[in-house]
Structure 1
Amino acid sequence: MKSVLYHIFLSLCLFAFIGCEDFFETALELDTPEFRQGINVIGEAFAGDTVITLRVNQAKSSFSTEPYTTLINAVIKAKVNGEEMTVNYVQFDSSDEDAFVIELVKPLRSGDRVEIELSHSGFPTAYIDDIVPPLVELNTGPLIYDATKDQSGDGLSRMNFSINYINGNGPLYFTSKAVYHQTLTQCVRENINGQFVCVRFDTIILANERGLTINDPNAVEGSFGSMVKQYDGGVEKQYVGTIPNYFVNGLRQTTSDNRVEMNFISMSEQTFNYEVSLSQYYASKDNPFATPVNVFGNVKNGYGRLTLKAVTRAIVPVE
């Protein structure tokens, strides 16, 4: 009897403790660092572009719920190779898309130095200084369907390619992507005699863009495909890129002249650091045990990035 009463007493004590408000909760007071106000910049430009478009707004803390607003009164000065460029503020249908457009005297070329100064009352003056990356010579073979397997046993298609980094000053940073090309046939009825006339036209299915996995020990794998830092400039180097079979299946089920456009994208070192850190951020953000990743920015005294890239393209058949 005493044993039964003892267990009843323990149960009542347990329920009493559990019933206390916030018994299993612990309140922590954390001192969040003061947010440093600044100008936020988002922009991207490629070799061959005749303008550089920048979205400029007030940077917000990650805890802020306020919408971004364009700093329409920002003063922007831009130079390419020391020559001043004209900067215009352009308004679009949506204020979220308003931007500053740098009108270039001539298209961007590999090796051009881009310098931008951004100022606005209440914020420190921000600066961007970067170099347009080099174009490369690119040679490719066909895309061979189901040429190998991945670690899970799923089929991979393989493409051999080589690059020649002509301006071999410093390392080369690059990534590669493949894009569907499909030749579609459309038939329309001729109004005069009622006969069908078939008209052929090309279309690119951009929704099926896919990054290649590249066999290089310096490759960084991310959600955008392999990103590689090549150290030995001036030397033609061989690579093997693989891509899942499912990317190619749709092509093989249609006309025989379908093909893949291979985009070889070289990047400035600053752009490479941004792309790598962005991939690492996406890979870790849903993992509570992962080390937090800060996305790299190249805006001094500010936030954001201007990415500079150059693209070499090649059309390859699918076999």
Structure 2
Amino acid sequence: MRIVSLVPSATELLFALGLDSEVIAVTHECDHPPAALALPKVTRDALPSGLTAGQIDAAVRARTEQGEAIYELDAAALHELQPDLIVTQALCAVCAVSVEDVRAVAEQIDSRPRVISLDPRTLGEVLGDVRTLAEATGRRDAGVDLIADAAARIDRVRLAVRDRPPLKVAALEWLEPVYVAGHWTPQLIEYAGGIDLLGMAGEHSERRAWEEVAAAAPDVVVVMPCGYDAPRALEEAHRFGDRLAGLGAGEVVAVDASAYFSRPGPRLVDGLELMAHILHPEAVPEAPSAPLTVEL
């Protein structure tokens, strides 16, 4: 099977299912696993490089209001590749090429590829997408194993923090302006022994005012700008150090959102383990990556 992935989380999932030899092209943002970096790219960013977080937000708003995507699809390359399957998503207009554009191009390709759109809003739906993609690619047994392993790891974390007093958490997915994380992140926080003060599981991320975040009185603030790694998240946190200090939290940390929270793929379970380590390090002493403490 010849597979093209148009979303990083799908690329990670395809590789986790053992389909690396069948993935023939990915997006310009597919950076995990490292082998994906060597594959042909069939998308490009429509936004200029070097923008600040505020400029990115303004540019995204302007393009989406005009019905324009922020990613461009290389239709000519897709025609040359003649894929059998294209995997994309419609959950977030900021995260991938428009699914309508993908379907329109697919209809013109001689191989008539099947288009699967993975659009999970919760952790359970992410695991459901594992089953969907595994069945579509003939990797049912690998999908069963992947889900079983994820479920076991989730259960271990929940058991480890079960008797710990829950901490109040504010998960900030963007700082200019402030967005609180939604979708699966509130679930990860709950399973990790916390209470998400502002986000709603299964719902879109929401824009809030700094004053609203402060009024919620978080114990812990997790800075997780969507698509940023930990050093970039820490840089953003320092830019807004005064605002973060004004929230009155006992701890502020920056994390690699791109790896562990933004993408609805296999590494969300790593994100759960990281979140549990942040909130209850005595119960979960090991984490896939060390959070960066924000000194305020």
| Higher share in strand | 1
Q: What TM-score do the two structures reach when normalised by structure 2?
A: 0.26
The TM-score with structure 1 as length reference comes to 0.24
Q: Which has the higher contact order (CA 8 A, sep 6+)?
A: 1
**Could you say which structure has the larger radius of gyration?**
1
